[in-house]
Structures are given as structure tokens and as C-alpha cells.
Structure 1
């Protein structure tokens, strides 16, 4: 059986088509990412802009063709932070239904964190328990602590997950206006993130494995590896020391968007907000105190696909 997982985030719209191998692992059939900037301005206005919606709809049309061509039996479209905040999200949903024949859904921050945890631990070979997974997105950051079943010959289990309203686009638009940001802007943003972490209510100490997913962490890892162009195979499973995280963050916060784009592995749309995402990651790394941050290309999409293949939420695309 083939399934399609669609993640509608603040910065990107992503598709993952997968099947289940005999050993229970996911077999990737197609994976796509499109920068649509759906969350552009949502933090200030509480609404999707017409241009952002049109960018999302064009991606939906492309993805619908792929899902039909690969004859997916089940599909799930999950929308996260920006859609949770947008008062006109029904306009997005109507457009998705029309173009993809799939019923979209807004998932809570807690469910987002659990799906990210399931996806992340499925892609990293035998991490040490307890595991902390960080999903640093455009509108929110999810932190979830739990255990990986491969370490204990048991089931993967989540102890606790939280979702914080701090993300790369949200923080960039709200506090880091300079290009590059000014020292005063950076200091204010760090203080804000620290306050959010103080109130998170999640124990970040004693972590055996610290895994980061999503574009901020994977882009920072590519920079730490000094890649001239993004290489998914080299990024997945690579580890950054705390010192490397601090160094990459400082470099991003003192560079212009044009300079970041010229480095090679970071796409222009990601470069616009990456310094803010890096600041968030850097503050969390300082709290966790782990020896290294492991980048995982397996994330919420993999968690959604696993659910679809094991009887979780989802449905057959209309017209199949």
C-alpha cells in the first residue's frame, strides 16, 4: 500500500509518498518541498495573504498529480502553526479540497510534537534514551521527550511534548528586522526565547540523544559541514557539537540574507528567516547541555506516513 503525507507549514508545503518495507521501515517513493511562505504576515495580521494562498494552491495542484500517478491508497493533509493562527484558514481548506480531493486538518501543537517524535526516532539508528526531539519550524517549535523502542526492544513512547509559539518566521518578523539584525534586536530576541523556555514546563536535562528535525536544523547542519550545496544524505544523521551550533548561529546573525544565500546550501526563501531559527535552536541547545545535536531528515512527514500505514488517521483520496 502506498500513502501520501502532506505537511502544510509556516514556510513550506511538503509531500512524502511512502510504503512499508518487510522490516517495518518506511520506503520512500517521492518527497517534495515547496517554499510557499504561507505564514508570511500571519503573526501581525492573523490572516493568510492572497499571494501566499495562491503559492500554496499551485503546490497543491502539483502534489495532486503525483499522488494520483503513484496511486496512493490513503492520504493525510496536516496543517500546523500558521494555519492554527489564521482566521481565514477555511479559504485555504476550500482550495485544498478543490485541488487535491483531500480533507485537510489543523493539528494541535501537541499532536505535531508527537508525530515529529515518531518520525525522527524512526530515522535515527538506535538513539540513546531518553530522547529529546526538537522540531524548529517557521511558526512554532515543538519539544518532545520520550524513549525510542529500538533501544529497549519495546514500543516508542512519548513522556511529554510541548509546542511553543516561537518559530523562524514568527521571530524574524516580530523582533529581528535588521539585515543583519542589530545587537539590540538579538538581545531582545534571546530574552524572549528564554522566557518562553522558562514557561515550557518540560524537563530538558539528562537527555541521552538530542535530535533536531525540520529546515532550520538541517540547514544549520549543512553549514556546519561546509557543504557547497545541500546534500540530504550527508545531513541526515550528522551531529553538531554545542560549539558548532553557537558558531553557526553567530555567523548567521551577523550576515545579510544575500550573503547567506551565496554560501550555497541554503535556499533564498530559507535564508530570509534562518538567523531567527538558529537563535531559537541555539538557546535550546544551551538549556539541554547535550554533547551534540543530531540532524534528522525523518520528521513529521514520516510520522504521518507511519500512522497511515499502521491504521492511524487518514482516508482514501476522493476519485481514486
Structure 2
């Protein structure tokens, strides 16, 4: 099951690829703006001069060829051009055990040789990689740094593997789920070995954190796919989500509740920006929590295919009870009434709601990432989805059969969050952990201080 990718289909953008936020509450349906990617290449210029009345011959000269990130991606295994997104500045704090490429790219038991020779570009750009194996998805981004705080994605992979399928009931990863994940990770391993990676970080989250056989599974991954993954804790996961979305928080913002609704857990970070602003958004986290509930685990407990209004309300109540135990939930009470406070959601749930809101015939990341939705628009979209049966959800191009049994569980988590932190505005982020990893790797490596060359 191929997942829509969050990086491989978008050009490099500024703060976001969607429209700026509305001037005040109650504005919805704003047109999206697109930035055309500037292109340069070999060119010719004519030159005619006159000296002492005699015309010189017109002489053609070839300009020096500019170096672009796409020079790095001419590999036989990938045929897509270099396209990417802007990332936020990296967050603060020491990342746990950040391995370099040599540590995480162990040779598999049967390594696959490169298919063809790659001619090196004029100036080599350092390449960084981030892999996120979650409860529902396996995702990879490979990127090169560009302007300060930005990077260009040169390769990406995303697949729904449902690694956490049955985990809630059994406490263990199932054999079919592990097989699906290993096959996806083999593809990721091939992509990484076909490149000269300067630094990479490969992480596993809630499914491997909680499963009795999580460590055993990762040992199998290292043997068969040649990838060494690290299980990160929930605080690190919350910080990486913030790092990945920093460029969507505007300068006049006073407070943000950022949430990442995952497959097996949901991370929430409260961000206070009323004081002096740091370049690293994660420096402003004043409180955070990780709920041990996500779209997969909630749907397995309550059912995802047939969801009545009563079942939906029960899911909302379940999450609300967990949020009631979050001691730091009131740390932004002083800015909740401000027009410069908003929610920021990074997950398949909010991007799906945005796609349905825009009535897209096909999911388009460039129109969704950075989109502002007002309170009434979110209410209408949740109500619409709750009113649809399973087949109607499957038929929507922004949901599809792969997400139809999970999207209402995600909406229930969203509704519980909105009840605790009511806001007139929600900003949608089609970015997250992988982008946060890349931001931190590049910042720590100092490539932005050295004009991207390291």
C-alpha cells in the first residue's frame, strides 16, 4: 500500500506552500499560492562591441554551469528530479545517539550492488537522510541543504505498512506486519546505499517502543535490510515534530499547541512565544505530553469501519480522559484568547481534513501544507466525515481505502484536543518527524554556516 508522500512531490518553498494566514478569525477557503521553482542551466549570450569604427565579430560564450541539488540525484535507481521542501531550523537539545551513515547503513546479508556508474557533479552537496518507521507508515526523506534553515528533498519513499496491526490486543508485532515493514525497509536501504550519505538518522517510534518483540524485530531489520534503527523516546518524538514544523509558525505568533496524531501515540507540545524569540522553535516548548493512543490503536479498540455517532463520542471521551491527566495543559492559558494563538496539526488526520475541505480530486501537498482552516471549517469537515459510511470514506480521493478505517479515530483525537485548547484557527502541516530529523542533522553538522557545502 503506497502512501501519499510528504516530500517528493513539492518544490522548495518558503514558510509554507499554502496561503498566508487570514487577518483574523472566521476567514476560510483562502486561495493557495504556489511558487514556481526557478530554473537555470547552460545558456549563451551574444556580445557585440565597436572599437575605432570597426565591428568585432559576434562571439558566443558559455556561462559557467550553476550547481543545483538535482545534480546529486542522477542515480539509476531513481528517476525523479530533485524536488523538495523547506525545513525549519533545528530544535535544541541533544538528540539521542545520533548515528552517522556508517553506523546506520550496515550491509544486509545479501547486499544489492549499484546498477550503474554515477558521474559526480561539479561540486558535491552533502546528502542527509531521515527514516521514520511508525505504527502505520514507513517513510524516508533524502535531502541536501540549500539556503539557511532550508533543504531540498532529492529522494523520498512512503508506504503504509501497519506495523502496529494487532499490537493493542496482543502486545506483540504480528508476523505479516513485520514482513510488510521489512520489505519497505529493504527499498529504503537500497535507496540509501545508492547515495553518498554524510549523516543519517533512522528512527522507530511507538510500535517498536511498546511491543514485547520490538527489539527482536529491529535485529531482523538489521540482518535483512541492512539498516540499524533506533527506538526514540516520546519526548524526542515530540521535539522532532516541533523542529519539522518551525517555519509554519509566523513571527507575530504568541502561542501554539502543536500536535502530531500518530498511529500508536499522539504527541502534543505547548509553545510559548510571548518572550524573546529563539531561532529554534523547540526552545519555546513549555510543556509536552505523549498520549499512548493513536489512530490505529483507537480504531482497533472501538472499531474503524462502522462508526456511529455514539461510538465516535466514546472515542472522544476516551482521549479527553487522557488529556485530563496532563498536568501541563494550562501552561498557555494566558494566550488562549489572543488572535495570535493557534493550533498546528501535523498528521494524516489534519491533512485529510484539509484535502476534503478543499474538495480535491487528488491529494495535493502543495495546496495542503500550510493551509489555514477556521473553527467553522473544521467543524463542518468533522461532521461530514462522521456522517459518511465506510464506502463513502473509501471513495473520497483524499482518504481512500487505506485510511478509511482510521480517519474517524484521528478526528476523535482532534476533537478532544480542540476541546482542551479551543482556537479560532488551525494550521495544517504536511511535514513532521523526518523534516525535524533533517533540520537537526544539518544544523548540528554546520552546513548552513558553510553555504551548504560543509
Q: 2:381 aligns with which of 228, 237, 248?
A: 248
- Whether the 8 Å contact between 2:135 and 2:262 is mirrored in structure 1 is yes
| Cα separation, 1, equivalents of 2:359 and 2:251 | 27
**Greater mean deviation of Cα atoms: 95-104 or 234-243:** 95-104
Q: 2:196 aligns with which of 46, 64, 71?
A: 71
Higher alpha-carbon Rg: 2
Q: State the partner residue of 2:369.
A: 236
Matches within 5 A, 1:208-227: 208-227=341-360
Q: 1:276 aligns with which of 406, 409, 415?
A: 409
| Cα separation, 2, equivalents of 1:124 and 1:18 | 22
Asked if 1:170 is matched to 2:303, the reply is no
Aligned length: 310
Deviations 1:288-312 (A, max 9, x none): 1111110112211111111222338
**Greater mean deviation of Cα atoms: 155-164 or 94-103:** 94-103
Deviations 1:53-106 (A, max 9, x none): 111011111111111223222111111111111111123202321244332111
Q: State the partner residue of 1:83.
A: 208
Residues 148, 228 of structure 1: alpha-carbon distance in 2 compared, 3 angstrom cutoff = farther
Specify every segment of 5 or more residues in structure 1 that has no aligned partner in the other structure, as ranges.
313-320
Matches within 5 A, 1:18-97: 18-97=143-222
Higher helix proportion: 1
Q: State the partner residue of 1:195.
A: 321
Q: TM-score scaled by structure 2?
A: 0.65
Displacement of 1:210 after TM fit? 1.7
| Cα separation, 1, equivalents of 2:232 and 2:208 | 9
Residues 239, 22 of structure 1: alpha-carbon distance in 2 compared, 3 angstrom cutoff = closer
**Greater mean deviation of Cα atoms: 177-186 or 38-47:** 177-186
Asked if 1:119 is matched to 2:244, the reply is yes
Q: State the partner residue of 2:19.
A: none
Displacement of 1:49 after TM fit? 0.7
Displacement of 1:174 after TM fit? 0.7
**Greater mean deviation of Cα atoms: 245-254 or 28-37:** 245-254
| Cα separation, 2, equivalents of 1:249 and 1:185 | 14
Q: State the partner residue of 2:97.
A: none
Deviations 1:91-137 (A, max 9, x none): 32023212443321111111111110111113555461322211011
| Cα separation, 1, equivalents of 2:289 and 2:153 | 29
Q: State the partner residue of 2:434.
A: 301
| Cα separation, 1, equivalents of 2:212 and 2:228 | 18
Aligned partner of residue 307 in structure 2, secondary structure: coil
Deviations 1:17-57 (A, max 9, x none): 12221322122222221000001110111111111011101
Deviations 1:208-228 (A, max 9, x none): 232110211111111111111
| Cα separation, 2, equivalents of 1:168 and 1:215 | 10
- Whether the 8 Å contact between 2:299 and 2:406 is mirrored in structure 1 is yes
Aligned partner of residue 229 in structure 1, secondary structure: coil
Residues 88, 124 of structure 1: alpha-carbon distance in 2 compared, 3 angstrom cutoff = same
